[in-house]
Amino acid sequence: MKKIPIGISSCLLGEQVRFDGGHKRDAYIAGTLSEYFEFHPFCPEVAIGLGIPRPAIRLVKTGNAIRSVGIKDPQLDVTDRLRAYAEQQKERHAGLCGYILKKDSPSCGMERVKVFTGDQPHRNGFGIYAQEMMRNNPLLPVEEEGRLGDPGLRENFIQRVYVLYRWKQLLAEGLTVQRLMLFHARHKLIIMSHADYREMGQLLAGLTKDNLLQVAGDYILQLMNTLKTVVSRRSHVNVLQHIQGYLKKELSADDKAELSEIIERYRSGEIPLIVPLTLLKHHFRKSPDPYIEESYYMSPYPQELQLINQL
């Protein structure tokens, strides 16, 4: 598979662009993820001319506004320049399928960035560039490098990246009613693990050639928002049991009992998700089902990423 284009804060790849001339290279990102993702680095602070090294900046609340200003020189205000840079990069951002930001950065932080009111910091801010970039790209999966250390958040981000990548492939092939319905069918079990998939299905109930573009736009926006929820173990169990139902006529009593036991052990936290999925795949190799075979739930991304080994 072609590598997927992902935006990233330059310092996370080891580029020495930090305010102190250093970097924040992330081994998992630069190593494992680089095998599957084509990283497009951005450093807005360097791009707007602050230089390396440069005066450190922070977020400050002034009245009802939040500004990005110099720590030593509050007269240095780069708020508008950071927003303008995000606007200038809209075309590049539009070609991405995900974005990994540097946590805590007053320009690139995704959330919980310190905002100072006087000398008092409050972790309720957003990096100026990051906020503008996310506002311009509501479909784009965005995450911070620190949060990728959490198995659930990591799997959730990468799953969303692959869903958006497949959506862009669909658009490149040419959007049709039939292709949109197939896209939904192949993602239905993934949707089920996040929410009631019938709500998404209702969006497509009145789909025609005449309203295709409008419905497709509403569909992908709702889908990407729905997928932001990290899937609970209980929700995975519901999907696993649903899939098990497709084997009710094919399995012996012993095989059914074994599969039910494995799913129950997953529910109780004894084993990771990969174990019941592997057993299900084994049974479906013997008794293929076209719907399950086409579903992305069983293989939502390359298994070499080993994301479900820790879920």
58 bridge partner residues:
69
In this structure, are 96 and 189 located in the same domain?
no
- Report the C-alpha gap between 307 and 192 in whole angstroms: 19
Are the beta carbons of 147 and 114 closer than 8 angstroms?
no
In this structure, are 181 and 38 located in the same domain?
no
In this structure, are 10 and 140 located in the same domain?
yes
Query: Which of the residues in the chain have pLDDT under 70?
Result: 1
Pairing mode, if any, of strands 65-70 and 57-62? antiparallel
Q: Which of 97, 125, 149 is the endpoint of a domain? A: 149
Are the beta carbons of 58 and 72 closer than 8 angstroms?
no
In this structure, are 168 and 311 located in the same domain?
yes
Q: At what angle do helices 128-136 and 79-88 cross, to 10 degrees?
A: 30
Give the pLDDT confidence score for residue 201 in this predicted structure. 87
Cα of 28 vs its chain's centroid, Å: 16
In this structure, are 103 and 157 located in the same domain?
no
Q: Which of 149, 180, 203 is the endpoint of a domain? A: 149
In this structure, are 171 and 138 located in the same domain?
no
In this structure, are 125 and 247 located in the same domain?
no
In this structure, are 170 and 292 located in the same domain?
yes
Per-residue burial over 91-117, b = 16 or more CB atoms within 10 Å of its CB, e = otherwise: eebeebbbbbbbbbbbbbbbbebbbbe
Give the pLDDT confidence score for residue 55 in this predicted structure. 93
How many CA atoms lie within 13 Å of 217's alpha carbon, on the beta-carbon side? 3
In this structure, are 189 and 58 located in the same domain?
no
Domain that holds residue 284: 151-311
In this structure, are 139 and 273 located in the same domain?
no
Q: Which of 121, 149, 177 is the endpoint of a domain? A: 149
In this structure, are 212 and 306 located in the same domain?
yes
Overall domain count for the chain: 2
Give the pLDDT confidence score for residue 196 in this predicted structure. 86
In this structure, are 217 and 293 located in the same domain?
yes
